[in-house]
Amino acid sequence: MKRTDDDKQEPLEPEEVAGTPTVEKAITVVGWQGVRCNLPPDWNVTGFSMDRESGYLRVDSPGEGSLTVQIRWTDAAKPEVKTFYHVLAPHFRRWLRRPPPLPPKVDLKANLEKFLKDITKQAKKSGEKLEASTKSEKEEGENSERRAMNFSWTGNGRGQGKIWYCSRCNRVLVAQVLGLGREQNAIASIASRLFSSLEDHSTNGYDLWALYDLQVEIPEGFRLASQKLLSGYIQLVFQRGAERIVVDRWGLANVTLKKFSLKDWFTNHANVALKRFSVTETTEEGHERIRYVGKLTPLTRLRAVREAKLSLRNVPSCYEAETWHCPESNKIYAIQVWRHARSLDVWDEVVRRCVCH
Amino acid sequence: MRLPLKYRLYYTAGKYLPFLKLKPPEVDRKAALHLRPGRNSLLTWEKRETGELVLSVPTNHHPKRMTKWVSKWFRFPEARHVELDEVGGFVWELCDGTHTVEAIVQKTGHEYKMNRREAEVSVTMFLQMLHQRNFIGFYKRVGKKS
């Protein structure tokens, strides 16, 4: 079938597809480093930091929208300048069985003033005038664990935000919705949605990691070690000592599975040689699933220790993996766990808490 | 669609003489999403049963006498072939000058159940690559007659 440019197809006007959602859903769940919130459909993470103690998250509205959500957090218990004392003190405390010191009292007002001063400074540089207003401090959350202050500012753009200190996780968190000056109502609506759903710590011992249709809960002790966010492929690697969880998500499954079987695809992309492990193939809720379980060889254990920067804590001895194809979202998911013999339920819990559609 | 000589010189100077600090203007995302990609009329393509698409790119469509003679003598191929995968082929078929970049992003995202952001990034990168190779040009609809 040879074609040239003269073969005209039925023209598709942009208006016809403008309202077509890519994946039909009511909300976008965003989760990163213990922070989680709900936003309108198709909002996407566009910026993030790898650090858990202090970092930021940026989520943008889809298409031609100009609204943005920015979330910044810092650990109030973390000293600003880390000295030799701060490195040794926790070890001595553990050795002497002394309780850790109480975190310093956080002055929310001072923190907010500093934040507003910074954005005023930035606005001044670009020649715009910024007016900010703040509201009084109030207590929020279960058992009044949060002290919070609302604020808003107007300049060339407009912002509405909230700063809070959570006594449970010791985080100071600043969240704001930014937009153009004329978008006051839209900003207010998004802000109310954001502030009502925003959480800075997990309540069930599992951190939510949710971005680009991937939604998985990982035990709190695991820290994000590396990530790959490519178009059509997402990989998140978590570590706890030498234990490791690798979550992979491939898009365009229908294209991939025309050329490869699910088993071949995973065998090519798994981080270990899968020949030695026992394989179970099942189908659950229309999802083809393949599970690999087995013991790691001494060489693979050493490799795991090397990849964990020679950490000898929780040296893994077991490998468990599951890959599945979700036709509803047209994605292939894979969860691999290198675990210590004691951490029995890690893999089961992570797979159970991974939402594919 | 070629840029006027003035701009081409400006960008080339900016690229090779960095101390001049000539930067191309920032592209407005909104405007870019409203452009309409159209195919180079010299290209022909063939669709395979597997969904892949093979483009035939003529190597030299205005050969000089000498070039023509040399290529004939050495039996140079008259066209080179570029293979696009299924998704690439899908986007290529939408580059007919009637669809905007925005519409192509929406349609691709819907067809392959891709996240809006993922679809936008991959489609715009792919269109950029096609444009760099002169396989497509971008049109802007100017004035609509009632």
Question: Mind listing the pLDDT tens digit for each residue in A1-56?
Answer: 444 444 444 333 333 333 333 445 678 899 999 999 999 988 889 899 888 888 99
Picking from A1, A5, A42, the nearest residue to B116 by CB comes out as A42
Domain boundary (A182, A197, A212) is at: A197
> A169 and A254, same structural domain?
no
Q: In what order do the strands lie in the sheet with A206-211?
A: A35-39, A28-32, A206-211, A214-219
CATH code for the domain of A102: 3.40.1000
> A298 and A340, same structural domain?
yes
**Mean pLDDT of chain A, nearest integer:** 85
Note whether residue B142 is domain-resident. Answer: no
**Residue B118 pLDDT more than 80?**
yes
**Residue B61 pLDDT class (50, 70, 90 cuts):** low
> A173 and A231, same structural domain?
no
> A58 and A125, same structural domain?
yes
Contact A172, A76 (CB under 8 A): yes
Picking from A11, A22, A254, the nearest residue to B116 by CB comes out as A22
> A156 and A44, same structural domain?
yes
Note whether residue B105 is domain-resident. Answer: yes
Domain boundaries, position A86: 28-197
A252 vs B contacts (CB less than 8 Å)? 87, 112, 114
pLDDT of residue A7: 45
> A229 and A139, same structural domain?
no
Helices (H), A150-201: 184-197
> A37 and A162, same structural domain?
yes
Contact A265, A332 (CB under 8 A): yes
Question: Mind listing the pLDDT tens digit for each residue in A234-277?
Answer: 999 999 989 999 999 999 999 999 889 999 999 998 888 888 88
CA angle B88, B92, B94 (to 5 degrees): 125
Count of domains observed in chain B:
1
Domain boundaries, position B113: 29-136
Most A CBs within 10 Å, among B28, B116, B120, B136, to test the A interface: B116
pLDDT of residue B135: 92
CATH code for the domain of B59: 3.90.930
**Mean pLDDT of chain B, nearest integer:** 84
% pLDDT > 90, chain A: 39
Contact A45, A57 (CB under 8 A): yes
pTM: 0.81
The mean pLDDT of B115-138, rounded to a whole number, is 91
Contact B22, B10 (CB under 8 A): yes
Note whether residue B14 is domain-resident. Answer: no
Partner B contacted by A143 (CB < 8 A) = no
Note whether residue A204 is domain-resident. Answer: no
> A238 and A174, same structural domain?
no
Q: Distance between CA A214 and CA A224 in Å, rounded?
A: 15
> A240 and A146, same structural domain?
no
> If 0-12 CB within 10 Å is exposed, 13-18 middle and 19+ buried, where does residue A203 land?
exposed
Note whether residue B61 is domain-resident. Answer: yes
Note whether residue A116 is domain-resident. Answer: yes
pLDDT of residue A304: 86
Question: Mind listing the pLDDT tens digit for each residue in A268-302?
Answer: 988 888 888 899 999 888 889 999 999 998 888 88
> A79 and A171, same structural domain?
yes
Question: Mind listing the pLDDT tens digit for each residue in A49-105?
Answer: 888 888 999 999 886 778 999 999 988 877 667 788 888 888 888 889 888 877 778
Picking from B103, B113, B119, the nearest residue to A12 by CB comes out as B103
> A334 and A246, same structural domain?
yes
CB contact under 8 Å between B113 and A23, yes or no, is yes
Count of domains observed in chain A:
2
ipTM confidence: 0.74
Most A CBs within 10 Å, among B93, B115, B121, B122, to test the A interface: B115
Interface size A-B, in CB pairs within 8 Å, comes to: 103
pLDDT of residue B142: 59
> A148 and A240, same structural domain?
no
